Amino acid sequence: MKINNLLILMILSALVFAGQADHLILNKVITYPDEAEMIEFYNPTAVDISLTNYYITDATTHGGNYFNLPSGEDFWGGFGLDFIAKFPEMTIESGETLSISLVTSEEYYSYFGYYPDLSLQENFLSASESESTIGVASQLKDTEGCLILFFWDGESDLVKDVDYFLWGNTTYGVAKTTDDGYPFNDTTLENQLPIRAYSNSDIVDSMYVRVGFDEIGETQENGNGITGHDEMSEDFTQSWEIVQQFEVVYGCTDSDASNFNPEATIDDESCEYLILINDIVYNCADELGEQLECDGQYDLSVSSAEGCPLYEESITTTGIVVDYFDITPYNGPHSFSIRGSSGKQIDFVVWPESSQYQDGFDITQTDLYVLADASTFGSYEVKITGELGAYCDDDELLDINSEWQITVEYEVDIEIIAQYNVEDFGCTDENAGNYDSTALIDDGSCEYFPETLSFSVKPYPFLPSIGETIKYTYAVPNGHRCVIRIFDVSGRFITSLLDGVPEFSEEDEVKTEYWDGRTHLGELVPPGTYLMHLEATEFSTGESSTAIAPVVIGVSTK
């Protein structure tokens, strides 16, 4: 969710800073979330200010002190999230602001909808010629931190503070003294007055904004600042305020989770990572096939296990209970079969008591035992959590289509999430030819268009170096995973154009796309012949179909 009232804040800032001041000041700081981190400066003076020899840093710990920069020793601790960065040669005009993103310009644009004036990673210079002093992932600290704008002409023995901002507490604060070679002592850490951290509030309000150019409480003389101020003496609790970015909405903020809430601003640790039954059945490497080698009745062989990333992992999935087997008379478990929307099935088992191999419980003494009633098969949808294992019926091979099983050890790991009637099942996909508008749950019966694979590329050279693209069209049966990649003639991977499950209809049986002649890193490929490769895989059977077309990139004569 983007920052609200940003335009109003910019107008208010311009009004507040209409008066005169004698140095460049920090105006706005955003420390959270990471993709929005930024720093804004304002020139409240009557003259333009050249930023040559100006620096910005948050590197006040981890073995370095910025004010040692003139000596070249112990000024930079090398911590990957810190930075001491030199401004590029430029000027900030009187009455103007300058926004600096701590992420790339494109990442900043994705969050705010406009570009920053500068990006720390893309535009700033290192403070040292011998090593980089801009961390590879420079990030401001959310709960406490410090920013220092300073000046060093490259020759003097001392740096001059320009502005200083401290939030959260004094952990990352700085206080230079005469022992460091400076003419005056800065305000001691115990007497500095940082503004509180946003995390102390019920609002995610990590946008710090200066409310006036009068640096309230700041000592105006006998300081180490560029105009003689003691920049560390400012009362930040009075001269800065925290402006709300967005309202608190609790929920799952992980986009990879099945219950991801795009409106949530605070994660409440409720994220669930459901794995579809179809993905469980086909979790192993394609080259292993549908018959996996076993090492006994309940174990895959080492080579098979290495190719099946979900094997022996704790997973959560959902499905309709369609069958039950009571194997307890033979010293076995209670075994239930569940079906996913693709029609594929797996088993989950509950052992009646704990053993040295797993915990268990007597499901017959719980309300969950209703799942064993044959008259209810096909009506209960459950969510289960447990370890994915194998049941190799012949002790030699596991059939991936029928012999995966999940061991559920605790009653709380089985939840009935819905109960349906027979009339509730059918094809629920509006794109399918047999779509049933009355169906509440998909039973895997959908039929789709198109019925066959097609693939073509325009048969002529193109010149991506002058902005040309090449058109290609494709169609695969709905429900197929479609992967389109580019390789050179030696088989070296260039880029992926598609990896997903496209949807088709009778009105849209063929899709048209374009390739711009660039690699997965965004670089133009050299002239030559390349191969566009399409692979379509049917989830229900695991069968794949491929198609290949040559693509020629020509040489520009301009």
Query: Is 3 a member of any domain?
Result: no
Query: Is 497 a member of any domain?
Result: yes
427-431-433-437 Cα dihedral, nearest 10 degrees: 50
Instruction: Share the mean pLDDT of the chain.
Output: 88
170-171-174-180 Cα dihedral, nearest 10 degrees: 130
CA-wise closest residue to 320 among 345, 301, 295: 345
pLDDT tens-place string over residues 479-508: 788 999 999 998 899 999 999 888 887 678
Q: Which of 221, 243, 265 is the last residue of a domain?
A: 243
For residue 403, give the amino acid letter: E
Q: Does one domain contain both 464 and 411?
A: no
pLDDT tens-place string over residues 279-331: 999 999 999 999 999 999 999 999 999 999 999 999 999 999 999 999 999 99
Residues with Cβ within 8 Å of residue 326, at least 6 apart in sequence: 334, 335, 372
d(C-alpha 24, C-alpha 97), whole Å: 10
Residue 385 confidence (pLDDT): 95
CATH code for the domain in which residue 510 is found: 2.60.40.4070
**pLDDT score of 260 more than 90:** no
d(C-alpha 46, C-alpha 23), whole Å: 10
d(C-alpha 327, C-alpha 392), whole Å: 16
pLDDT band for position 450 (cuts 50, 70, 90): low
Q: Which helix (H) or strand (E) holds 472?
A: strand 470-475
pTM equals 0.47
Domain extent for 466: 454-553
pLDDT band for position 2 (cuts 50, 70, 90): very low
Query: What is the number of domains present in the chain?
Result: 3
pLDDT tens-place string over residues 189-215: 999 999 987 655 555 557 899 988 889
Q: Does one domain contain both 301 and 226?
A: no
SS3 content of the chain, % helix, strand, coil (to 5): 15, 35, 50
What is the percentage of the chain residues whose pLDDT exceeds 70?
A: 91
Q: Does one domain contain both 131 and 226?
A: yes
Q: Does one domain contain both 178 and 49?
A: yes
Q: Does one domain contain both 89 and 237?
A: yes
Query: Is 205 a member of any domain?
Result: yes
Q: Does one domain contain both 25 and 136?
A: yes
Q: Does one domain contain both 132 and 239?
A: yes
Residue 6 confidence (pLDDT): 46
